[in-house]
Structure 1
Amino acid sequence: MIINLEELNEFEKILKYKFSNIEVLEKSLTHSSYSNEDKSYLKVNNERLEFLGDSVLSIAVSRFIFDKFPDYPEGDLTKLRSQVVCEDTLSLVAANLNVGTYLLLGKGEEASGGRERKSILADAVEAIIAAIYVDGGYKEAEKFVLDNLRRYIQLAVKGKIITDFKSNLQEYYQGIKQTCKIRYIVTKEEGPDHEKMFHVSVLVNKKVVGSGVGKSKKLAEQDAAKNALISEGQLNE
């Protein structure tokens, strides 16, 4: 076992699922960059679990929206699912669960910011879903999926599933001010490393236009951008 058992048990509490076989959880957190660097790890990584998790995720969300919205035609169901089962949404789920902290990454991927890379985080969430499915069966995996994605389904139905508030804020200010400098500043950090909360303010030309909180700097920045859009009347609460 490469990841410290104490850390895995800590992550189980965040996931709200207790594994019978803790090694399948470790595998779900092992990126290919790590297994490729560490030859003793026998090239075991989360890619196969990611493949399986993608299908489990799709059927869980599909069944939920199929039952929840009986009047939706096939096209609307497909559109709704695609808004939820996507890299942007899954990377937010990963940030909420603090997945990046527990990943096993190769040195190069680590140095290039892999712990916050959307694609890596989204893939890890799919692998975790598969790990729960393999360990505890479909019902446990479905519960995990819906516990973590139900709110995004509700936002998508309301047409409010904007996941990249920072880009929206950038476009808004550049549209009304040809020259503007947008910066995000961490104003406070609190809590232990595995449950740290970041407080961030977003400044436009040195003026604070929004503040936010999140379990990672990126989440806090997105929250600050969202609140700035709300204060500018560009987004409903």
Structure 2
Amino acid sequence: MIRTERFKGLEEKIGYTFTNKRTLALAMTHSSYANEQRGRRKANNERLEFLGDAVLEVTISDYVFREYPGYNEGRLTKLRSSLVCEYTLAICARDVELGKYLLLSRGEDATGGRERDSILSDAFEALIGAIYLDGGMDRARTFIHTHLLKDVEDKSLFYDAKTILQEMVQAGPDPRLEYVLTREAGPDHNKEFTVEAKIGGKTYAIGKGKTKKGAEQIAAYQTILLLKKRRR
């Protein structure tokens, strides 16, 4: 049986105390860990992730609809996509140190699973689903608004990051922007690409993703944030 007191620190981080601690434990149980438990029920967080995804979708849709009355459907869709994408959710998961509390198999843990965007984003959605089950829609909505709907202006840049960065660079002193693939690792069905975003030959940010295009987008986004920070 999982010792639920191990998640006390997470409850403090997210500002929500579970009535049913087992629901929180389940949200933190990755399929690799469940499959490693021989002779026991192999429950994992995938069903909670499914539920949390739905709660997240309606909450974000409601938020952008109300907060951006001048946006048409296309702009609303882009904004929502930026806010609920894997990379954004992984950032939010890191903000509450979610990786520290995940239950992973020994193999997944040893290969960096606690920092993998896909695992973190899925766990974040599972956590939303768990809060919804334990405390209802209002508590889940509060959690999303507190931990995801901050820095919306920055997060909204993710969807069109490469285009936005290109425009920023062209307006600067050196218009040379390039993305350099520096690493390609893993089997064909689960590759990870590492890309550097360079301006005028200088590396500004590094992106990692399941595709080269995805890695470029992350590198572009991180470069945008860096440039904005320098200009403040």
| TM-score under structure 1 length normalisation | 0.70
Instruction: Please tell me the root mean square deviation across aligned C-alpha atoms, in Å.
Output: 3.0
Q: Percent identity, please.
A: 42
Deviation at 1:226, TM superposition (A): 5.7
| TM-score under structure 2 length normalisation | 0.71
Is 2:196 the partner of 1:170?
A: yes
1:40–1:144 distance in 2 versus 1, CA, 3 Å: farther
- 2-structure distance, mates of 1:227, 1:160: 9
Q: 1:84 touches 1:152 (CA, 8 Å); kept in 2?
A: no
Deviation at 1:10, TM superposition (A): 1.6
Aligned length: 187
SS of 2:17's partner is coil
Deviation at 1:137, TM superposition (A): 0.3
Cα distance per residue 1:55-100 (max 9 Å; x no partner)? 1001111101111111111111111000110000000001001000
Is 2:100 the partner of 1:75?
A: no
1:113–1:156 distance in 2 versus 1, CA, 3 Å: closer
Corresponding position of 2:30: 31
> Unaligned 5+ residue runs, structure 1?
184-221
1:160–1:37 distance in 2 versus 1, CA, 3 Å: closer
Deviation at 1:234, TM superposition (A): 9.1
Residues 32-181 of structure 1 aligned to structure 2 (within 5 Å): 32-157=31-156, 159=157, 170-172=196-198, 175-176=200-201
> Unaligned 5+ residue runs, structure 2?
166-178, 181-194, 207-218
- 2-structure distance, mates of 1:97, 1:143: 15
- 1-structure distance, mates of 2:34, 2:141: 29
1:77–1:39 distance in 2 versus 1, CA, 3 Å: same
